[in-house]
Every structure is written in structure tokens, then in C-alpha cells.
């Protein structure tokens, strides 16, 4: 007897290993967003730009902070979900836990870098005497 008309094929669900793979991919992306947060807050010639330049930098640095914190938190969330996905196994649980810890540490680092970059831009926007 052949397949019946109107019957849809069953979609496969994402397994725990698939979730861990997505979490690991986002963890790799976390490296780039952390570098972006570091770059956005780097002022080579601090105080030499005008106050308007630093006022323009504040929203950019806030956006960089938001993106650079969301990516590692999302990676930690997905990897944490993979730990509890069924069927459970120990190696995936350990690997998922390691990814969660690394990503949470990266999120804290990005938070520190981002808030410090915003604080410095605000300071120089108020105290700058630069020409360009």
C-alpha cells in the first residue's frame, strides 16, 4: 500500500547534538563580536577629537554593546538547552556545559568592555577640547 494522499512527511526535530552545534557556531561568532566590542571602545588619540565626535560615538558604542552581549548569551542559552535535550548523554552534557561557561564569561567581558567604552565616550563628549 503506497503513501496516502494528503499525508505530509514527518519533519525531523533538531537533536541535542544539533543544538550543541548551533551553540558552538554562535560561540565562534562570539569571538568576532568580542573583538568588535574591543575595537569600538579603542580610542587611539583620546581627547583630540571634538565633543561632537564623541557624542556621535555614544549610540554606536551602545549598539556594539547590545550586539556583543546578545550573541554570547544566545550561544549559552542554546548550548544550555542542548544539555537537557533528550536523549541525554554525558559527553554532550559536558561539552554543552563548557560552552555555556565560556559564553557567559565572554558575555561578562563584552559587558565590561562596552560599558567602559560608553563611559569614556561620555567623558570625552563632556571634556573634549579637540579640533577634529
**Whole-structure pTM value:** 0.82
Note every long-range contact of 65-69, with CB atoms under 8 Å and residues 24 or more positions apart, other chains counting: 65/37, 65/110, 65/111, 65/113, 65/114, 65/115, 65/117, 65/118, 67/33, 67/36, 68/33, 68/34, 68/36, 68/37, 68/110, 68/113, 68/114, 69/107, 69/110, 69/111, 69/114
Q: Is the omega angle on the peptide bond into residue 87 within 30 degrees of 0, that is, cis?
A: yes
What are the residue boundaries of the structural domains of the chain, listed by start? 16-127
- Model pLDDT, residue 132: 52
List of the chain residues with pLDDT < 70: 1-7, 9, 130-132
Residue 53 half-sphere exposure toward CB, CA atoms < 13 A: 15
pLDDT for residue 68: 95
Residue with cell 554593546: 65
Amino acid at each position: 500500500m503506497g503513501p496516502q494522499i494528503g499525508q505530509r512527511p514527518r519533519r525531523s526535530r533538531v537533536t541535542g547534538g544539533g543544538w550543541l552545534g548551533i551553540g558552538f557556531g554562535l560561540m565562534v561568532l562570539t569571538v568576532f563580536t568580542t573583538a568588535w566590542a574591543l575595537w569600538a571602545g579603542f580610542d587611539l588619540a583620546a581627547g583630540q577629537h571634538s565633543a561632537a565626535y564623541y557624542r556621535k560615538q555614544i549610540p554606536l558604542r551602545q549598539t556594539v554593546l547590545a550586539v556583543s552581549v546578545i550573541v554570547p548569551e544566545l550561544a549559552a542559552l542554546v548550548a544550555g538547552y542542548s544539555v537537557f535535550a533528550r536523549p541525554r548523554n554525558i559527553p554532550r552534557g559536558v561539552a554543552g556545559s563548557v560552552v555555556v561557561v565560556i559564553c557567559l564569561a565572554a558575555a561578562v567581558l563584552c559587558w565590561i568592555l562596552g560599558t567602559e567604552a560608553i563611559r569614556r565616550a561620555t567623558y570625552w563628549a563632556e571634556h573634549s577640547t579637540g579640533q577634529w
